[in-house]
Amino acid sequence: PHVNRYPGGMKLTAKGGENFSAKIDIEVPMASYQAAQAILANGGKLTLVYFTKHGLKVHLRPERWTKQNLPVPKPAEPKDAYKFFYTERDENGRAFRYVDRAEDVLYVHPRLALHRTLFKKSIAERLKGVTKDGEEDFLYRLKRAEEQWKLAAEEREKRRIEEILEGQKVVDCEEVPDFGDNFDVERETIQAKVQQVEEELDAEGIKKIDIKVEKKA
């Protein structure tokens, strides 16, 4: 496989991969359909990780921040249009997806896949709405996949909310001592002591000292 640059970072392609036979485990921001096929066919693993340009710089060169004793920026969350695809999170908060089938890489940018990868069309064909063999099946599978991924995301969010509520219940159930009566007793005791001190001072008598400042001739 060969690595090319694309707007979101790097893309793994199958250029020069005719004789590729290695079993590899690789993480990339994006991969072509052919590259995914080659990796999975050899028993390898492919993971697509969501990166912005800035996030990729942080991932490749974290020492830019650590050397200056600065906190390493957190990974960015996928845009709303891509959240249905990146269903997993690692310990660092990166959004990713394991690729089980080569077709999965096409769901990130399905329109690019339809017109540039699997179902190439001329401008005239696209304007006429010409459908290529397998295109309708791809669109159907894409729709089903989006529904499944959205359900998975909703279920994950539901579990997260339930965990938060469960934690709140634990806090609410903790016994909180009632200091109401004790506080009133302490306040009365303090007030009595203050009054006693004031009475003792009055009994001893507090003389007022006047300080006069005279100007010398």
Q: What would the pLDDT profile of 29-84 be if each residue is shown by its tens digit?
A: 888 888 898 999 999 999 988 888 888 888 888 999 999 999 988 888 887 767 77
Which range scores top for mean pLDDT: 9-23, 59-73, 176-190? Answer: 59-73
* Measured distance CA(142)–CA(137) in Å, rounded: 8
* 12-23 mean pLDDT: 81
- Smallest CA-to-CA distance from 96 within 150, 40, 51 is with 51
Looking at residue 44, what is its pLDDT?
A: 93
Residue 189 reports pLDDT greater than 80: no
Domain layout of the chain by residue ranges: 1-108, 109-174
The set of residues, in sequence order, having a beta carbon less than 8 Å from that of 110 and lying 6+ positions away, is 142
| Predicted TM-score (pTM) of this structure | 0.48
What is the pLDDT averaged over residues 139-159? 74
> How high does pLDDT run on average in the chain?
73
pLDDT band for position 2 (cuts 50, 70, 90): very low
79-83, 150-154, 205-209: segment of lowest average pLDDT: 205-209
Q: Report H helices in 67-131.
A: 110-112, 123-128
CB 49, CB 94: distance < 8 Å: yes
Coil/strand/helix, residue 112 = helix
d(CA 20, CA 26): 14
How large is the average pLDDT for residues 123-144? 70
The helix/strand/coil state of 49 is strand
